[in-house]
């Protein structure tokens, strides 16, 4: 049974978001990794997602990352984006979510988590707004509240950020 929200329910939950949590592989990236001689494994990130992250942080919405990965390039990307709430190397997303709640003091109902794989399910079930991408696993799609129109690494994160911004009336001065 699908847990997708009506547009009104979706907007109501968006208005409550104080922390945006993101998975990396399949969400901030399209899931591809590349080996670069002399450098090692690396990912490709979407610049629009990065700009959206910086923008929403300016409006006071905190951003965090929970990822099973743990690489120097991933740590550097988090540093560049100013994301200080980071749990890497964890496939126990339920425990990682609790660490984020303890760290930030933000209740689960005020958290949006964007994720795509099976080990994300325990955390997705606990947050106020659970989101996945079109490439998310079928079991994930069954329990989330919203599925982005854009794919992971293709602007999905920016799509979610813009939904939060518009619902909360967070606009740049003209």
The CATH number for 16's domain is 3.40.50.1000
Rounded to whole angstroms, what are the CA distances from 17 to 8, 112, 168?
Answer: 15, 6, 9
Query: Domain range for residue 156?
Result: 7-167
Contact 111, 18 (CB under 8 A): yes
Classify residue 67: in a domain, yes or no. Answer: yes
Name the domain count of the chain: 1
How much is the average pLDDT of 7-29?
97
Classify residue 138: in a domain, yes or no. Answer: yes
Token representation of residue 147: 């599925």
Classify residue 174: in a domain, yes or no. Answer: no
Q: Average model confidence (pLDDT) for the chain?
A: 94
Classify residue 107: in a domain, yes or no. Answer: yes
The pLDDT of residue 174 is above 80: no
Classify residue 2: in a domain, yes or no. Answer: no
Condensed to tens digits (0 to 9), the pLDDT of residues 115-143 reads 999 999 999 999 999 999 999 999 999 99
Q: What is the pLDDT of residue 3?
A: 87
Q: What is the pLDDT of residue 42?
A: 87
Q: What is the pLDDT of residue 40?
A: 83
Q: What is the pLDDT of residue 173?
A: 62
How much is the average pLDDT of 3-22?
96
Q: Are strands 34-36 and 40-42 parallel, antiparallel or unpaired?
A: antiparallel
Spatial separation of the C-alpha atoms in residues 151 and 22, rounded to whole Å:
14
Spatial separation of the C-alpha atoms in residues 73 and 44, rounded to whole Å:
10
Classify residue 1: in a domain, yes or no. Answer: no
The total of other beta-carbon atoms located within 10 Å of residue 80's CB is 12
Condensed to tens digits (0 to 9), the pLDDT of residues 39-92 reads 888 899 999 999 999 999 999 999 999 999 888 889 999 999 999 999 999 889
Classify residue 44: in a domain, yes or no. Answer: yes
Classify residue 172: in a domain, yes or no. Answer: no
């Amino acid at each position: 049974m699908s847990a997708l929200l009506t547009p009104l329910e979706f907007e109501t939950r968006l208005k409550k978001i104080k922390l945006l949590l993101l998975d990396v592989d399949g969400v901030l990236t399209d899931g591809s990794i590349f080996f670069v001689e002399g450098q090692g494994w690396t990912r490709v990130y979407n610049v629009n997602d990065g700009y959206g992250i910086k923008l929403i942080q300016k409006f006071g919405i905190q951003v965090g990352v929970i990822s099973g990965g743990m690489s120097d390039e991933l740590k550097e990307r988090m540093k560049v984006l100013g994301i200080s709430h980071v749990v890497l190397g964890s496939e126990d997303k339920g425990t990682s979510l609790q660490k984020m709640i303890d760290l930030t003091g933000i209740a689960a109902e005020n958290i949006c988590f964007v994720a795509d794989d099976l080990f994300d399910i325990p955390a997705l079930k606990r947050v106020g707004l659970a989101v996945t991408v079109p490439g998310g696993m079928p079991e994930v799609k069954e329990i989330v509240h919203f599925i982005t129109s854009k794919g992971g690494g293709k602007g999905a994160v920016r799509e979610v950020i813009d939904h939060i911004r518009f619902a909360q009336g967070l606009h740049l001065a003209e």
